[in-house]
Amino acid sequence: MNRSASSNTAKLAYNANEIELPVIKGARGPAVIDIGTVYRDTGSFTFDPGFTSTASCASRITYVDGPAGELLYRGYPVEQLAVKSNFLAVCYLLLHGELPSNEEFRDFRTTISRHTMLHEQLTRFYTGFRRDAPPMAIMIGVVGALSAFFHDSTEINNPKHRMIASHRMIAKMPTIAAMAYKYSLGQPFIYPRNDLDYASNFLQMCFAVPCEPYLVNPIVARALDRITILHADHGQNASTSTVRLAGSSGANPFACVAAGMACLWGPAQGGAKVAVHNMLNEIGAIDRIPAFIARAKDRGTDVPLVGFGHRIYRDFDPRAKVLQRTCHEVLDALGKRDDPIIRVGLELERIALEDRFFIDNRLYPNKDFYSTLALRAMGFPPAMFVVLFAVARTVGWIAHWAEMIEDPQQKIGRPRQLYVGPLRRDFPRQD
C-alpha cells in the first residue's frame, strides 16, 4: 500500500502512562493515527460506533472528498469516466489500476462476453422462489449459490482463480438480475447476446420477449452505462466493508459478494431510490407539491424529503450533474415527460433549484433523485432499483475483495465491543 509514516506521532495519556502512536499519511485525505497497539499498551479498546472515525484498511481504489465534491476511481474523476469512458473500461480500471489500451479492452470485453451465460441447471433455481418474491431476494440467493456451480475458481490464494471469479461475476450479474426480473413477471428468460455491449445486453435481457424483435435505444443504453459507472464504487461503506470483513475469513468471493448484496439491500444504503419513488408516488400530483414542501420545511413534522442533498457531499455531488443531463436525455428520447410520477419529479427539481430553502440548506437533487426518474422512464419498477445498484457495485466489491486478499498486512476482521450486559451470575438452583 502507498502509505508512509509521518515524522509526527500522536501521544495518548492514560492511567499515568503515555504512549506514542504513529501517524500515517496517505496519498490524499486526512492522516490516520495507528491505534493498533492501544490494547497491547493500555489494556483498553477504542470505541467508535459505526467506525465513522476509523480507517479499517488502506486502499488504492477509490477516493472520496465530500467537502470538495470529489469522487475518484484510481485517481480519475468519476464524472470524466462517465462521459468519456464506458462501464467495461471502468471495470478494468477498478480491477487493474489503469485504463485499458485498445487491445486490452478488446481482450477484456471478449473475456466478459464469454462468461455471460449461466449454468443451465442454475436457471432452475429460480423456480424455487415464489413469483412475488422481491428480485433482490432472488438475486442474493442465486449469487450465493454460484460457488456450488463454479467451485473451480474459489481458491482465493490463486491469482488465476481470483481473476476468473472476478470475470464471472462481472459478466453473470446482469444475466442473474435480468432473470430475476423476468421471473417476477412470469415471462421466459432471455439469454445474453455477445454482440451487444454491456448495457444494451442487459436491456434486451430485461425487456425483450421471444415473440417479437427488440431494438435497444442507444440513448437509453448509454444512460444505463453511465448510471452503472457512477454507482460502481464509493470507498468504504456498509456493503463494501461487509465484503471485506467476510472475505477476511477466507470465504469464497461469491459468498462475500452475496453478503455485500444483503447489506446493500438495507434501506439505509441501497434503498434511497425506492424511497425517492415512494415520495413522488405519495405526492401524486403537481398541485399537491406546495403542501408537501410546506410540511417538509416545517421542522415539527416528520415528512421525509429524500433525493435531495447528500450526507457526504455537502455542497456538490459530482455524480448528480452527469445524471441530471442523462436523465433529461432519457426522458426526451422516450417521451416520458408526461408520466404523472415523472412530472411531479420534474416540478420538484425546478423548485429545488430555485427555492432559497433548498439552496441555503444545500438540498440539491442528488444522484438517487435523477437515477430514479431515469430508471422509471426506462421501464424498471422500484423493486429493480437496488438490483441495478448491485449489478453496478459488483465490480467495486470484487476490486476491494481482491485488494484485501493481496494485502500482506491483511488479517481476519475482529471488531471489539464494549460489554454492558449483566455481570457473571450462577444458574439458579433447581429444587
Q: Which residues are catalytic?
A: 310, 368
Close Cβ partners of 415 (under 8 Å, ≥ 6 residues apart): 51
Task: Return d(Cα 37, Cα 30) in angstroms, integer.
Answer: 20
Cβ atoms within 10 Å, residue 358: 21
Measured in whole angstroms, the distance separating CA 412 from the mean position of its chain's CA atoms is 23
Q: Residue 22 is inside which H or E element, if any? A: strand 17-25
- Using an 8 Å Cβ cutoff, are 33 and 52 in contact? no
φ and ψ at 73, to 5 degrees? -100, 110
Distant-in-sequence, close-in-space partners of 115: CB < 8 Å, separation ≥ 6: 167, 168, 170, 171, 172
d(CA 245, CA 251): 10
Are 315 and 226 contacting, i.e. CB atoms less than 8 angstroms apart? Answer: no
Phi and psi at 10, nearest 5°, equal: -95, 140
For residue 352, what are the CA distances in angstroms to 67, 117, 282, 343, 414?
Answer: 20, 44, 18, 14, 44
The Cα–Cα gap between 358 and 354 comes to: 8
Distance CA 100, CA 86 (A): 11
At a CB cut-off of 8 Å and minimum separation 6, what does 206 contact?
A: 178, 181, 182, 190, 379, 380
- Can you say whether the dihedral through the CA atoms of 261, 267, 269, 271 is positive or negative? positive
> Where do we find the cell 432473470?
179
Residue with the three cell numbers 447528500: 310
The three-point CA angle 180-184-186 to 5° equals 115
CB atoms within 10 A of CB 241: 18
